[in-house]
Every structure is written in C-alpha cells, then in structure tokens.
Amino acid sequence: MAEQVKSFFHEQTKTWSHVFIGADGRRAAIIDPVLDYEASSGRTQTNSVDALIAWFRERELTLEWILETHAHADHLSAAPHVKAALGGRLGIGDGIRKVQAGFKKIFNMNDLEPDGSVFDHLFADGERFEVGGTSFEVMATPGHTNDSVTYVADGHAFIGDTLFAPDFGSARCDFPGGDASELFSSIRKLYALGDDTRLYLCHDYAPEGREPRPWFSVAEQRQANRHVREETSEQEFVAMRTARDKDLPLPELIIPSVQVNVRAGHMPPPEDNGIAYIKVPVNTL
Ligand SMILES: [Fe+2]
C-alpha cells in the first residue's frame, strides 16, 4: 500500500505538518500547516507551506479538511492560505471556545465571538468523519490546552502536543486551561490505541543533534518516553510537570500566535489606517 502520510518539518518552530491521504488515494487532509512569521519585523511569509502546497498539487490531490490539533502558542497557522490555495474545510476541537474566551479577555479582542464560528467545523469528542474513504475518529486529549484533540484513523493518530518524542517527553500544562492530570489521562488514552499505532507529532525538538522524526509508535513511547512510561503514575507525572512548568520561558511567538490562531489563522482586523496590529499585553502573561 502506498504511504498514506507525508510530513513536512518547519525548522524555525520545529513543527511537523502532515498530509494524510485517504484510502481512495485522491482525497486528503492537511494537519497543522505553518505560516512563517518574523517577530522582529511583523512580516509573514508562505515559503514553507507553499512547498507543501506544491507537493499536494503535483499529486493532484483534493483537499477535504484542514485539521488543527489545537490553537498553537508557538507558531502561526497557515490555514487561511492553504484554504485559499486548495479549498477544504477548517476544523478544530470544540474546546476552542474556552480558549477563545480566555484569550479574548487577555487581548481585549472585541472583534472575536468566542463561539468557534470563525472555524468551519468544531469537532466533539468521539465524532467521526471521513477523508477519501478512510474513517477518522476525534479523541479529545486536553491537558496541554482545553481544545487539544487527536485525530485517529487506520493506525495513524495525529496527536498535536499531547506527547513529544520519547527523548523530549511531554508538553507544558501551564497555559490558561492547561491541566497536568488531564494531560496524563489523555496520554493514557493514546497508549490504549495499541502498540503499532503511529503517533504523529506536532513538534520534534530532536535533542542532541538527532534527526527530527514525524512519528513514534505507541510501543516506543510506552517504553521510552522520559515523562510517561508504562509504569509512570499520575502522581509522579503531575509532580514532575508542575515543577518543570514553573521554570519554562514562554515560547518566542506566543503573543502573535495566540491572537492569530484563535481567529482561525486570520490577522486581527485592520485599524482605520488599513494596518493590522498584533497587541502586546504588558505585565500580563
Ligand atoms: Fe501547542
């Protein structure tokens, strides 16, 4: 059988974007596409995601879904650019409403209705949908954020930041709506998918010069994940996560990322001079 997943690595933010091709070999989904953003100038570029789009067009695939695993805090979503180029519907977990409500307050986003309506579809836990004849199930995997979901199909699971590579561990739980014991339960849900399931990462920070990898099997994670192995207790995990999160600096792009990503990848509306601005809340985050 032809390879069903093609993954693209965004070096600057260490993000994996994935293309999943359905059983019919024609229709596909794109998971977590990335927009290039330079914080010093406020300039966006589409060079990275354009390579993915070119690959997609070369294969004459049809895009059914753009899937976000969560509202990312460390890179900007390229969903609007992908949709303009290839079509498709944009989906995210229905927990996005809580994330929108939280950041709407912090950034005073008067243009944003925190009801998820800027996305085309909000996925509920357990919901099913299809990509080119392959059936997907949505699994709520909160803990890193309220809206984190895993998209599961046919031995493949797109897990967002529910886990990182075994040698890096797990994602922080100290963003608004984060919760270490929820993350532990979500990771256990991934481990219950069965040893051969491929867990596709949203990031690989690839320590000590290792080559980034787009996925690890459940078996690899259960045996070797430095934060959650088969034998790790919830108590141990929560204690480790809580202690660790106290000292982590915020991601470099958190301020632009959350403002754009809760708007489904759109910039804030332009002001009366025609320019859109990203805000910085002083002494708040
Ligand atoms: Fe994240």
The model's pLDDT over 115-157, given as tens digits with 9 standing for 90+, comes to: 999 999 999 999 999 999 999 999 999 999 999 999 999 899 9
Could you tell me the distance, in angstroms and rounded to a whole number, from the CA of residue 148 to the centre of ligand 1? Answer: 8
User: How many structural domains does the chain have?
Assistant: 1
Q: What percent of the chain has pLDDT over 70?
A: 99
Cα 250 to middle of ligand 1, angstroms: 12
Q: List the structure tokens of 253.
A: 């792009």
* Residue 139, domain member (yes or no): yes
Range of the domain at 229: 5-261
219 alpha carbon – ligand 1 mean position (Å): 23
272, part of any domain:
no
CATH number of the structural domain spanning residue 30: 3.60.15.10
pLDDT at 2: 63
In a domain, 267, yes or no: no
Query: Does residue 29 register a pLDDT over 60?
Result: yes
* Residue 3: per-residue pLDDT: 79
Terminal Cα-to-Cα distance of the chain (whole angstroms): 48
CA of 60 to the centre of ligand 1 (A): 31
Q: 4 C-alpha vs ligand 1 centroid, how far in Å?
A: 24
Whether pLDDT at 1 is above 70: no
Pairing state between β 76-77 and 34-38:
antiparallel
pLDDT digits (tens, 9 = 90+) for 241-273: 999 999 999 999 999 999 999 999 999 999 999
Distance CA 163, CA 169 (A): 7
pLDDT higher than threshold 70 for residue 193? yes
Kindly state whether residue 281 falls inside one of the protein's structural domains.
no
Tell me the CA–centroid distance for residue 2 and ligand 1, in Å.
Answer: 30
In a domain, 73, yes or no: yes
